[in-house]
Chain A
Amino acid sequence: MPAGGHRLYWSQILFFMHLSRLIAALALTAAIASPADLTPQRQDLNVKSFEYAWKTIRDRYWGTMPVDWQQVHDELLPKVENAKTMPEARAAMIEMIDRLKLTHFNIIPSEVYDTLGDAVHPGKGGIGEPGFDVRVLENQAIVTEVENGSPAAAAGIKPGWRLVKVSETEVAPIIKKVGDAYKDKTTRELYLSRSILARFRGGAGDKVAAEFLNGQNQAVNIDVVLKEPRGHESTFGFLPTQYVWFESRKIGNTGYVRFNMFMDPARISSLFGDAVESCEKCDGFIIDLRGNPGGLGAMSMGMAGWFIDRPNQELGVMKMKGNELKFVVTPRADTFKGPLAILVDGDTGSTAEIFAEGLKDLGRARVFGTRSAGAALPSLFERLPNGDGFQYAIANYISADGKPLEGIGVIPDVEVKLTRQALLDGDHPVVDAAVKWIAQQRSGK
């Protein structure tokens, strides 16, 4: 009753994160922590951090815990108490959350958290990007895309090239090791590609030696010059700075959009809306979510509103301890009514999965590509007393058809796999399949 605004602030319910890329990226960088001996004060902070993380998970877990959580506590607390170094203490905390065998639970070393969170990252460990993307296709690391205007493009790297070595390290054993570790997991593809791209670490301008096999299977050695990240800086809370980009174009008379994350809503939601509105008379619309790891979960509801005319349509439900939150689409005044295709792959995660599966379940979109990462738990980030970051899931996500996405992922209506040969030939089989389907819908065939 007191005067003034407070209704607005209830919008905090929209701030849950569904972001899968960080899971992989942070897991792969967790080993860089300082091995220096711990002071008694630091040991105390580690114990406090362990207890805080343990209690938070106990209190926020949405269902029956998959392990005896008290036993996990009693077994691992002594390891934290007796740890002589930060990596030892952290390993015990990571072991605690690993016992859950779920995505979106992470202990993030403060060194990584701080470094990733800075806006400027000169030198090693910085934000430089190689300017190309990689997927593991038939157990080979294949370049799937090269960014226009990047040093990689200038060096002649082409889609379809096979990456053989990075910094004198053979790629094949990495693929074997990571592939075996995530065998039978829906996150396998995500971890594989991230584990390879993580080798191209450094600041913009740094060089990373790499050996490729070109289209003729000839070895080509290139010093890959790392570039500034593509996109605009975006910060949200204690999350590391993210770089968010958006592109839209027409393929014939079909609209096509792609963006790398569901973040920076002020910019991305606006660009997305502009792209849909400018395509009112398009034959169809394609949303390419391959490689999109998610972000702010609630953005899926706003974006889906450009394609759903009816009110009260749900993409799914976030089930928390003692509560649930429906992901209800907010229809726009002018929606796009033509055929809608969504493209996914193993690097599509979290919010991107919620968006794709929700629209698929509602019968509004047809999904093309390969199975997504199945990593869709809503999570929060906090800083622990010892300075480390702590990510924890607070809910399960059930799609409109009543099935969880975690560990299952989005299974495309039409499975289309990338092949090295198609990439070398300059083909885009997944996009082509979507365009063909849209044309069929328009012609009524």
Chain B
Amino acid sequence: MKRNRWIYISCAVMAATIGAGTAAADEPLPKAETIMDRFVEVTGGKAAYEKRTSIIETSAMELVGKGVSGTATHWGDTSNNSYESGEIQGVGKVDDGVYNGVAWENSAIMGPRVKSGEERADAIRDSMFNGTLYWRKLYPKVETAGIEKVGDEDCYKVVATPTDGKPVTMYFSEKSGLMLKETRTLVSPMGEIPAETLLEDYKPFDGVLEPTKREQSLMGQQMVVTVTDIKVNAEIPKDRFQPPPEIQKLLQKAAAPAPPAADKK
């Protein structure tokens, strides 16, 4: 255990050294694997991540310039199940979750929905607990695609391709090693929508740095999400991740045998 810790501290030092200063134009870019590993280290390191067994995050959101606001709570643990429950002013409840491989969404606007295909794969990937630590499982292929600025900071641009789904592009600060931006294509039955998230105000929560401000942009709308609290290793009841009854009804229907042909219209 002690030995392992030393190994990781060494890795952290190495990674930090690689990332220090601004890479000259003719310098080879660091490998994406190195950049990703450095992100793990600068946000706390493997040991800190592994100490976490559950997360309860609360956040507030505001749709910029539209006067729409809301709050949400996210529960996640090492089962890789997750549940997010939001309350948005003028809209009502919007819930989303992953439970034993079933990805679902239930909102007052759209009703209940079970996700499939790439959308399901994306949700399951997002639901992986300590996903930062296990990036190799999530993204078998990662490539450094260049250096780009995010705000004033030079960032390594890393394109991470999952087994199932569209590539996600991440931008890691050359200086700090922190991820400052992510772009991805949101996939749903409504279509494919490019989306961008700026990650800001990293703060420590039980030894792991997490961004406490996320500015999400899609289709010309900006939403600012501010994390108000993260509880690490708080007890989460076993049934917390159970999908709501509306989703269970859809799942039961999908599992039920088709009616005899004569009954079909």
Say whether B109 contacts A12, CB under 8 Å.
no
Question: Which of A3-11, A149-157, A405-413 faces chain B?
Answer: A3-11
Say whether B210 contacts A2, CB under 8 Å.
yes
Kindly list chain A residues whose C-beta atoms are within 8 Å of the C-beta of B96. Answer: 5, 7-8, 11
A235-B90, A323-B219 are known contacts. Are A9 and B66 too (CB-CB below 8 A)?
Answer: no
Q: Once the chains are docked, how many angstroms separate the CA of A381 from the CA of B66? A: 6
Chain A contact residues: helix, strand, loop or mixed: mixed
Kindly list chain A residues whose C-beta atoms are within 8 Å of the C-beta of B108. Answer: 265-266, 269-270, 302
Interfacial residues of chain B within 212-243, with CB under 8 A of chain A in the complex: 214, 216, 218-221, 223, 225, 227, 230
Question: Which of B1-9, B16-24, B126-134, B146-154 faces chain A?
Answer: B126-134
Q: Once the chains are docked, how many angstroms separate the CA of A381 from the CA of B65? A: 8
- Closest chain-B Cβ to A411's Cβ sits at a distance in Å of 26
| B186: interface (CB < 8 Å) | yes
Interfacial residues of chain B within 171-208, with CB under 8 A of chain A in the complex: 179, 182, 186, 189-191, 193-195, 197, 199, 208
Q: Which listed residue (A8, A234, A237, A325) contacts B63, Cβ 8 A?
A: A237
A7-B84, A8-B94 are known contacts. Are A1 and B67 too (CB-CB below 8 A)?
Answer: no
Interfacial residues of chain B within 124-175, with CB under 8 A of chain A in the complex: 126, 129-132, 135, 138, 170
Say whether B214 contacts A6, CB under 8 Å.
yes
Interfacial residues of chain A within 290-344, with CB under 8 A of chain B in the complex: 296, 298-299, 301-302, 305, 311-312, 320, 323-328, 330, 332-334, 337
Q: Which listed residue (B76, B95, B111, B189) contacts A3, Cβ 8 A?
A: B76
- Closest chain-B Cβ to A269's Cβ sits at a distance in Å of 5
Say whether A237 contacts B57, CB under 8 Å.
no
Kindly list chain B residues whose C-beta atoms are within 8 Å of the C-beta of A235. Answer: 89-90
| B92: interface (CB < 8 Å) | yes
| B14: interface (CB < 8 Å) | no
| B51: interface (CB < 8 Å) | no
Q: Once the chains are docked, how many angstroms separate the CA of A308 from the CA of B210? A: 43
Kindly list chain A residues whose C-beta atoms are within 8 Å of the C-beta of B227. Answer: 4
| A119: interface (CB < 8 Å) | no
A1-B131, A9-B72, A326-B189 are known contacts. Are A265 and B92 too (CB-CB below 8 A)?
Answer: yes
Q: Which listed residue (A5, A273, A325, A326) contacts B84, Cβ 8 A?
A: A5
Q: Once the chains are docked, how many angstroms separate the CA of A269 from the CA of B93? A: 12
| A380: interface (CB < 8 Å) | yes
Q: Once the chains are docked, how many angstroms separate the CA of A60 from the CA of B221? A: 11
- Closest chain-B Cβ to A52's Cβ sits at a distance in Å of 10
Say whether B221 contacts A382, CB under 8 Å.
no
Q: Once the chains are docked, how many angstroms separate the CA of A324 from the CA of B193? A: 8
**What are 23 A-to-B residue pairs whose CB atoms are below 8 Å?**
A4-B76, A4-B210, A5-B72, A6-B197, A8-B94, A9-B86, A9-B225, A11-B96, A11-B105, A12-B63, A12-B221, A15-B221, A265-B108, A298-B109, A302-B110, A305-B111, A312-B189, A325-B193, A325-B219, A332-B112, A332-B250, A380-B66, A383-B65
Q: Which 10 A-B pairs have the closest CB atoms?
A: A266-B92, A5-B74, A236-B90, A4-B57, A237-B67, A333-B249, A238-B67, A5-B84, A302-B111, A265-B108
Besides A12-B63, A383-B65, 7 other CB < 8 A contacts? A6-B216, A8-B86, A10-B195, A11-B86, A236-B68, A325-B190, A333-B246
